[in-house]
């Protein structure tokens, strides 16, 4: 059998083609590897399995200010702050703390939310006047926002803060100011011509949770744990987590002050149950023996429940308001 010899020119042409193919593969591999290591931060997401719901926390400004001195801060409630404000929107897992600080390569960039400044200053304000106006938002984004980027509705700073602002309108625990400041401006429309129609038009999005159950700010009235819990449960169908802080007067008297209402939400922002955890405030752990009070009960008995820092740090799923006696819900005074 005669084999036709391959000329030198044809041989080298084949070799060149083989090297060219290998070269293309090397280039492609380099691009892929480079992309993995130099992937833009906006495409880095938190593992979806690390969290299964949100905790949406709203703060009562007098409670935030009551804690300011414990954190060595100066509190200021601006004239634009009229009601409950947003503390945070926190990805959470079961009954435990959710993931935190998930992507340090995606730092806070104020320019991304600059157009939201007016709304943020009103509904998600930094009340610590001795810190940068943006430090609170930076904290919330760095610690919590970077952990829910796997969800389209909270992926990126603008989406994350917009989601929080929208939730504040949807689940605001007190909406009395909405009619006074906004509802009265659209009475020319038949659908919103009076207070009842205004709130009905929102399709139960603006829930006057506390006021509808008679829980209103007062200089003298006090409310129980059940007053707050039942008011919110009546509105959304699930119990919230409520947080209190302790005020210690110079004469030695101690009283509790409402600080936060926290509700749990599914990833589609519908309400769900908050599962109580096992870590309790002030370092108390539930280690109840046969013949002794639990550490949590000891804390409540000694009036220690609520002794905590509220503005940036406390994210436990356990309510810290006393269940055995009433606490205060004072009006907002600009300070």
- The string of pLDDT tens digits covering residues 78-125 is 999 999 999 999 999 987 678 999 999 999 999 999 999 999 999 999
User: Above 60 in pLDDT, residue 242?
Assistant: yes
Query: Which pTM was predicted?
Result: 0.71
Q: Quote the CA–CA distance of 209 and 145 in Å, as a whole number.
A: 27
Pick the catalytic residue from 53, 139, 144, 315.
144
Q: Quote the CA–CA distance of 271 and 266 in Å, as a whole number.
A: 6
Residue 253 banded pLDDT, cuts 50, 70, 90 = confident
Lowest mean pLDDT among 14-18, 67-71, 185-189, 238-242: 14-18
Question: Does the annotation mark 140 as catalytic?
Answer: yes
Pick the catalytic residue from 53, 73, 87, 312.
87
Average pLDDT over residues 201-227: 77
Q: What is the per-residue pLDDT for 157?
A: 97
**Distance spanning both ends of the chain, measured CA to CA:** 103
Residue 318 banded pLDDT, cuts 50, 70, 90 = confident
Residue 254 banded pLDDT, cuts 50, 70, 90 = confident
Q: Bigger pLDDT: 266 or 34?
A: 266
Lowest mean pLDDT among 58-62, 65-69, 223-227, 270-274: 65-69
Pick the catalytic residue from 140, 157, 178, 300.
140
């Amino acid at each position: 059998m005669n084999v036709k010899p391959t000329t030198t020119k044809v041989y080298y042409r084949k070799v060149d083609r083989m090297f060219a193919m290998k070269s293309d593969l090397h280039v492609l591999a380099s691009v892929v590897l480079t992309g993995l290591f130099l992937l833009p931060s906006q495409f880095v997401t938190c593992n979806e399995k690390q969290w299964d719901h949100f905790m949406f926390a709203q703060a009562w400004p007098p409670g935030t200010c009551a804690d300011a001195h414990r954190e060595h801060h100066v509190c200021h409630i601006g004239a634009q702050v009229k009601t409950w404000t947003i503390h945070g929107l926190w990805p959470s897992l079961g009954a435990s703390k959710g993931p935190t600080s998930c992507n340090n390569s995606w730092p806070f960039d104020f320019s991304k939310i600059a157009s939201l400044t007016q709304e943020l200053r009103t509904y998600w304000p930094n009340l610590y006047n001795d810190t940068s106006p943006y430090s609170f938002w930076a904290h919330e984004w760095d610690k919590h926002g970077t952990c829910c980027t796997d969800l389209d509705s909270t992926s990126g700073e603008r989406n994350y803060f917009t989601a929080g602002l929208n939730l504040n309108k949807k689940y605001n625990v007190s909406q009395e100011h909405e009619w006074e400041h906004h509802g009265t401006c659209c009475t020319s429309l038949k659908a919103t011509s009076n207070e009842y129609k205004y709130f009905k038009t929102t399709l139960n999005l603006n829930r006057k949770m506390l006021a509808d159950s008679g829980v209103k700010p007062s200089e003298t009235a006090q409310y129980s744990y059940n007053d707050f819990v039942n008011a919110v449960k009546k509105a959304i169908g699930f119990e919230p987590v409520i947080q209190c802080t302790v005020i210690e007067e110079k004469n030695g008297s101690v009283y509790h002050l409402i600080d936060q209402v926290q509700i749990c939400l599914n990833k589609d922002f519908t309400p769900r149950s908050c599962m109580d955890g096992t870590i309790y405030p002030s370092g108390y752990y539930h280690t109840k023996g046969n013949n002794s009070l639990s550490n949590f009960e000891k804390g409540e008995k000694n009036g220690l429940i609520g002794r905590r820092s509220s503005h940036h740090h406390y994210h436990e799923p356990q309510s810290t308001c006393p269940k055995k006696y009433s606490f205060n819900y004072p009006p907002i005074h600009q300070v």
